[in-house]
A and B are shown apart, each in its own frame.
Chain A
Amino acid sequence: MAERAERDPVIERVVHEMRATSPSSDATIARVVAAAVQAREMGVLEEAEDVPVRVRTPRRLVRWRVAGWIAAAASLTGFAVGASITAWRDRAVRVVAPVEGQSVAVASMAAPTGAPTGAPSAALASNSAAEDARVVTQFVLARPGAASVALVGDFNAWDKAATPLAQEPGSGVWSVALPLVPGRHVYAFLVNGAEWVVDPRAPKANDPDFGVAGSAVVVGRP
């Protein structure tokens, strides 16, 4: 059975694609999984409990012989896969800690750190794994007295709950670091859940569509 599985072209393709990811991916995935487990134990991810996490393998799907069942089941299973991928990304964003060795400074802003991480689904979902290699980027806002600060942007579906910033105790300096796909990203801070704040140290991103300007950051691999 194991030998047959090893020869399975689908599995071989998956293994091949996973091997094509950056060398740091395994360590990154392990780190993210460990952090997610820790966060789950702390109850941080409880709101995501309704996300289905059990995913059927494509190999099992192809054993089904009735064509109509394949289409219906594929849609349902695909939804689960997509939801799981989304959940994985959300969790990765939520549990990412500031990059080790980076100092948190009021003067710093979205600064690419040059530490690429791998996205577990990227190798299968993209024509080029290299194009999806992410760059950890730090966002910092000085906001003494704020009860909460969150980051919203095109990288987290503009979701107010997706990326909270952590405050350096007693300092009023809030920060978060997260892996971003290279390119231009538009974002803003939400203070106390309602106040829209552009990054004072980043270029302004005009918004001709909705009239609410944000900030822009361009991320590139070193």
Chain B
Amino acid sequence: MKYAALFVVLGAGALGAQDARLARRLDAPTQAAVLKLIDVARSRGLPTEPLVEKALEGATKRAPREAIERALTRRMDRLQLSRETLGAASSDADVAAGATALEVGVPTDAIRDLRAIRPTRSVAVPLAVLAELVAHGVPVAKASQMVAVLMRRGVSEGQLVALGRDVQGDIATGASPEASLDVRTRYLVAMLPVPGANNGLVNSAIPSDLPRKP
């Protein structure tokens, strides 16, 4: 009973905070339309915060109600597909990251692969790095493969983020996105500990699961 009351309190609190933000920033018709969509999302068990954020983004960008409604509907559809792909037990952060990856063109198979590599841990950062790589011109198959390889090798989130930043820096200076990712990934893999070893050694050879140069 106590837990039920606590959950009611926290749930109502989150709802109240969302409503307050929307009420401050949206006109009444837009707010009503947004709340209706949020109710639909909630009834489907989807995270609602990404929808609130999108609505507030639209408000800041002075978008008309129709544009905000369309944006929320699209985001809700992607959240739904993301959750179906990642699994019902996935965290809200993972579901939101999956939705963003879908938005830039990452296929569900690639998202499912990352979840399979990390069935119980968050994949929000790997999905975010993958989405950024694809958004900036790395072919989706190549980017998905490389991120998956690195995850299997135990790459840290910080290393993945740095990889994405390095590739984007290379692209900005004129490098081919694909070639940059190849070069950067090979270096990173070489710096990672040898799987199964506990002696501080690093990989000295190109791993067999990385594509080799022709």
**Interface, chain A (partner B; CB < 8 A):** 9-10, 13, 58-59, 61-62, 70-71, 74-75, 77-83, 85-86, 112, 114, 124-128, 130-132, 152, 154, 157-160, 181-184, 186, 203, 205-210, 212, 216, 218-222
Contacts and interface: CB of A to CB of B under 8 A. Distances in A.
13 contacts: A78-B10, A78-B11, A78-B16, A79-B13, A82-B15, A86-B21, A112-B158, A114-B158, A128-B91, A158-B60, A184-B132, A205-B135, A222-B158
Given A58-B5, A125-B10, A184-B100, A78 B15 contact: yes
A10 B60 contact: no
A218 B129 contact: yes
A131 B17 CA distance: 22
B161 A112 contact: yes
Contacts of B15: 78-79, 82
B61 A183 contact: no
Given A154-B53, A203-B136, A160 B60 contact: yes
Chain B residues touching A, majority SS: helix
B93 A62 contact: no
A131 B122 contact: yes
A210 B161 CA distance: 27
B160 A82 contact: no
B1 interface: yes
B10 A79 contact: no
B124 A183 contact: yes
A200 to B, nearest CB: 11
A154 B136 CA distance: 20
Point out which of B12, B54, B96 has the most chain A C-beta atoms below 10 A from its C-beta: B12
A220 B158 contact: yes
Contacts of B5: 58, 61-62, 70, 74
B2 A10 contact: yes
B71 interface: yes
B128 A78 contact: no
B128 A218 contact: yes
B164 A218 contact: yes
B93 A131 contact: yes
Interface of B: 1-3, 5-6, 8-18, 20-21, 25, 52-54, 56-61, 63, 67, 70-71, 74, 91, 93, 96-97, 100, 103, 122, 124-125, 128-129, 131-132, 135-136, 156-158, 160-161, 164-165, 168
Contacts of A154: 53, 57
A183 B8 contact: no
Given A82-B14, A203-B132, A219-B161, A71 B57 contact: no
Given A203-B136, A218-B128, 9 more contacts: A58-B2, A61-B9, A78-B16, A82-B18, A85-B13, A158-B57, A218-B132, A218-B164, A221-B158
B90 to A, nearest CB: 10
Given A112-B161, A183-B96, A157 B21 contact: yes
